[in-house]
Structure 1
Amino acid sequence: MIKNFRLLLIILLLVSCKQQQRLSANASEQDNELLFSMSSSSCMGPCPVYEIALYADSTLVFKGEENTKLQGLNQKKLSAGEFDAFMGLIKMVKWNELNPRYVSDMSDLPSQEYYYNFEGNNIAVYKYGLEPKSLAELNRAILPFVYHDIFGMQKE
């Protein structure tokens, strides 16, 4: 009886380990899923040109190309607090209510592209010119947040 119990216990441990390995493999595949991205193009003036990407494993990538305080490729694994704060910025936008394109007749404006991928929603938005208030608020908040709160740059 004790022998059978030991054999059963060993079998259960092996099955449990295999299941845990499969769960870990699936989690690592999902960790690199892109949750949010935003890019901004150049204009004739000092418009910042950059790309921001947030991944499910809490990695934030910022690529500063022109007129940004951070130049080149910058990457950071966010703490839980930083990730939640960044998510708060992103979720202040009513993504489900946005149109896929916002285009103005004005010239020499930077274009911006957004990608939002949460809770089964995959939303892409292109903007050139005027945008809804929530996107305008995100645009005003995101660079200072990345510079100061994520990468610890001093405020000027």
Structure 2
Amino acid sequence: MSCKQQQTASSQSREPEKLFTLSTTPCFGTCPVFNLELYSDSTLMFEGKQHTDLEGVHKRKLTAAEYDAFIGLLKMVKWENMNPRYVSDMTDLPSQEFYYNFNGEEKNIYKYGVEPQSLGNLSQALLAYVNETVFKGGE
């Protein structure tokens, strides 16, 4: 096998890059618990763990329109202005962990509490989008 063949083989087996993730944890009530991942090949993976309309692992490639809509939701947040950590002293709140990796900007954000509101809104909007548009309640 020549060097060129080895490079081609390794580039073809390269994993798609993770662009975005959102992971949530439970609270004492009915807070939705899920993992959501978007990859550079437009694959979306959703794992509903508790209190979600869609339970279990679901994975599929988004259409161009679905991908653009998903990115549009991500643009609700001004990622460049986000701090890496937001923590409240309240108890019984779910935590959310965000990973954002677009256009050379990479952010890891941990959120426990109510601030900033844009991250809470994003979490709700993405969960609704996944349930109502991407997987249509279990497709």
Instruction: Give how far 1:132 is off.
Output: 1.7
Q: 1 CA distance for matches of 2:30 and 2:78?
A: 29
2:60 to 55, 76, 83: 76
Q: TM-score with structure 2 length normalisation?
A: 0.88
Q: % of aligned pairs identical?
A: 52
2:123 to 139, 152, 156: 139
Instruction: Give how far 1:27 is off.
Output: 6.7
Instruction: Give how far 1:47 is off.
Output: 0.8
Report what 2:96 is aligned to: 112
Q: Which runs of 5+ in 1 are unaligned?
A: 1-17
Q: 1:81 to 1:27 in 2, by over 3 A?
A: farther
CA RMSD of the aligned region, Å?
2.0
Q: 2 CA distance for matches of 1:26 and 1:117?
A: 21
Q: Which runs of 5+ in 2 are unaligned?
A: none
Alignment of 1:53-132 (within 5 A): 53-132=37-116
Structure number with greater CO (CA < 8 Å, separation at least 6) is: 2
Q: 1:133 to 1:80 in 2, by over 3 A?
A: same
Instruction: Give how far 1:95 is off.
Output: 0.6
Paired letter, 1:40: T
Runs of 4+ in 1 over 2 A off after TM superposition: 24-29
Q: Give the number of equivalent residue pairs.
A: 134
Deviations 1:86-132 (A, max 9, x none): 01111221111000000001100000000001111110000000222
Higher helix share: 1
